[in-house]
Structure 1
């Protein structure tokens, strides 16, 4: 069945919006081509998920925003997340645009660029033009095309050759106006032999009106670069979250994904590492907690092109109440990618008889001289473990909590940033009603 895409803006309105923002002509043209594609392409095909039944047409319209001079003017939800980050490196997007940007003079002096993407397309046009929409392309689906047409605000991070950034750079992206388009695009370029850690949080306000978040991430790790990308999505029940994440990894470069899928609304995400270069590596850690009547579809992929490339994917999901999750892991080793090694593990723990989890590990191997493996499990809390803990004087509630945290610990414990571990633990407790 083909579902007609309802365009949230017409070509004339989009062109006027782009030109009114003083965007370069090539970007205006790209947006208009993407909008035209959106009207003809189908919705993405998700494994065992009927996304056409989801409420994904609530894009709203672009609304300009006013910058804030200090973090004291930020909403309380953002201040709580960032706390003592006044002296740090931080970008805040609120609804359709960026309201706060800060980069330390030390990093700026080293040539690091950390700004909103809307500014970068004008101030760093050559860098942006060469990379934007080349990993997440507009012709993938109607959703990807709409993102390419409508994206706003966003983040642009560039680290020059041989520069090692020792402190994490952070962004907070907030939707709290259901009538405003919220479609940030994150573009990260780590040049040769550089290293960087980027962390972001997606949050929402308390409005009950439906919102569609259509977001994309593109990461380019040049030869020898090391990129750590950590993201936590914790938006409310009114937000339908569709997120595409892509990394293109060149010779001897490494990419680490740390993803906390903690939304309360329906969510579809695709985290994809393209191991283009010889000796390239990818490590993906995905934590998910579902509750209520959520419909969730999480896909993690690694595609090996380079020789001696290595990928590791670990997904752990906990489903409560009537939540339903489809967990997909896909490792593909192309012909010629000799000596490659692709490993994946998906595990789902269900806390209710009405909860559902489906783990789908897939290996696609077109080369003989490689290593590959997968493991998957879906099940409920072991009653023998509950009984053992209760026999030691622990209440059932605490016993279940300990088992859940033990189930998630192999991923959470590997997160190298203490602040992120603490934050993720707090979000997990909230999702589990602790």
Structure 2
């Protein structure tokens, strides 16, 4: 396989583009190595999902972003997601690059850095270079190599030692022009005993076919607490391939809050490496599939440190002829004594043609541990519907209440009220309510 068959960009073109952006030499070199690596690697092989039949080759070409200075200049789709002072700590990417970036004076004074990743690589090399592509390595498979080679825009968040950021910082990623490369990469570094909440939204406009190949890397140093909340709401013409990884050091914690609300085919892989003793990972995922979507969601926790704890909860609703594979993987390595890994995957199917497979997997290489899983797949209980209808509730409303009751254990546990509201609105849209 040649480089030209993977994406419309060869080594010389990539080098020229990197230099045109005035990127540091080390980043240009890393991009070129990743592109060459991509030509030798295979596509990922998610469980029971044949993505080799998907069109993952059309990445478009880089188109320089047109920056704006005020919220009023942003596309309506974006400004609708931002309220009040939320614009104080905000990054917006449209297609191939960042068009808006702001950080409050208060956070600047505390040493917090929040900007697009391209800018951070130029201006904060000492913070970016040691971590970039170390959590999600280019050699995982062809898609991670391609993102390492051609990522654009993205976001970089750094929280200094002992700094607690009490208000969420936010990023919005919009793909509008199908001819433009859209491959953001997120890097979050939370230093020792810091804490932060990061929230982002991924959206698309238009009906042209496009591919999102995105990567998230999170480094939580000793005692750091990171909450990462994301909602993906791409349209039916967008294929979403997202790879998220976190590494937690001693007594650090990561909380994943994920809303999978796409209308197109989707593969996501969210993993935490519990490297340090006493570290924790908590992942909450809700998903709604409709139409003829093909969906594959994998959540994973790998325990290396002693006394580590992981929890994974996934709840998915499938309607029409949507098909979902839900994988939960808990891996406890030898030496990770007194670790505890729990996971739950539940799928609710709303039509005879809908399908959902829940696959809990426990891989235990240590004796002194606790681990457990629960999984279920089923349809709306007719007895529950009958009971509610006997109380004067219509059938559609009864089914709606049952669905919300099914998702409630995850949605109600989300500590961000505005994100709860946003997810509820998207669930209603996906379910045609």
Same structural fold, with TM-score higher than 0.5 when normalized by the shorter chain? yes
| Structure-2 residue corresponding to 1:253 | 252
| Structure-2 residue corresponding to 1:358 | 357
Contact 2:7 2:59 in 1 (8 A): no
Q: What does 1:302-313 correspond to in 2, within 5 Å? A: 302-313=301-312
| Structure-1 residue corresponding to 2:328 | 329
Q: Please, which moves more after superposition, 164-173 or 80-89? A: 80-89
| Structure-1 residue corresponding to 2:419 | 420
1-side partners of 2:57 and 2:75: how far apart?
27
Does residue 243 in structure 1 map to residue 242 in structure 2? Answer: yes
| Structure-2 residue corresponding to 1:80 | 80
Structure 1 residue 7: Cα displacement: 2.4
Q: Deviations over 1:323-373 (max 9, x none)?
A: 000000000000000000000000000001000100000000000000000
Structure 1 residue 5: Cα displacement: 5.4
| Structure-2 residue corresponding to 1:71 | 71
Residues 156 and 237 (structure 1), Cα distance of their counterparts in 2 relative to 1, 3 Å cut: same
Q: What does 1:7-86 correspond to in 2, within 5 Å? A: 7-85=7-85
Residues 128 and 362 (structure 1), Cα distance of their counterparts in 2 relative to 1, 3 Å cut: same
Does residue 179 in structure 1 map to residue 188 in structure 2? Answer: no
Contact 1:136 1:144 in 2 (8 A): yes
Give the SS at the match of 2:78: helix
| Structure-2 residue corresponding to 1:367 | 366
1-side partners of 2:385 and 2:364: how far apart?
41
1-side partners of 2:83 and 2:77: how far apart?
10
The gaps in structure 2 that reach 5 residues or longer are none
2-side partners of 1:293 and 1:84: how far apart?
38
1-side partners of 2:5 and 2:81: how far apart?
36
1-side partners of 2:8 and 2:296: how far apart?
24
1-side partners of 2:312 and 2:87: how far apart?
34
Contact 1:5 1:38 in 2 (8 A): no
Contact 2:312 2:328 in 1 (8 A): yes
1-side partners of 2:47 and 2:174: how far apart?
29
Give the SS at the match of 1:344: strand
Contact 1:7 1:39 in 2 (8 A): no
Q: Please, which moves more after superposition, 31-40 or 273-282? A: 31-40
The gaps in structure 1 that reach 5 residues or longer are none
Structure 1 residue 85: Cα displacement: 3.9
1-side partners of 2:6 and 2:46: how far apart?
20
Contact 1:5 1:142 in 2 (8 A): no
What TM-score do the two structures reach when normalised by structure 1?
A: 0.98
2-side partners of 1:199 and 1:355: how far apart?
31
Does residue 94 in structure 1 map to residue 94 in structure 2? Answer: yes
Contact 2:220 2:249 in 1 (8 A): yes
Q: Deviations over 1:373-396 (max 9, x none)?
A: 000000000000011111111111
1-side partners of 2:405 and 2:9: how far apart?
47
| Structure-2 residue corresponding to 1:166 | 166
What TM-score do the two structures reach when normalised by structure 2?
A: 0.98
Does residue 273 in structure 1 map to residue 268 in structure 2? Answer: no
**Cα root mean square deviation, aligned:** 1.1
| Structure-2 residue corresponding to 1:286 | 285
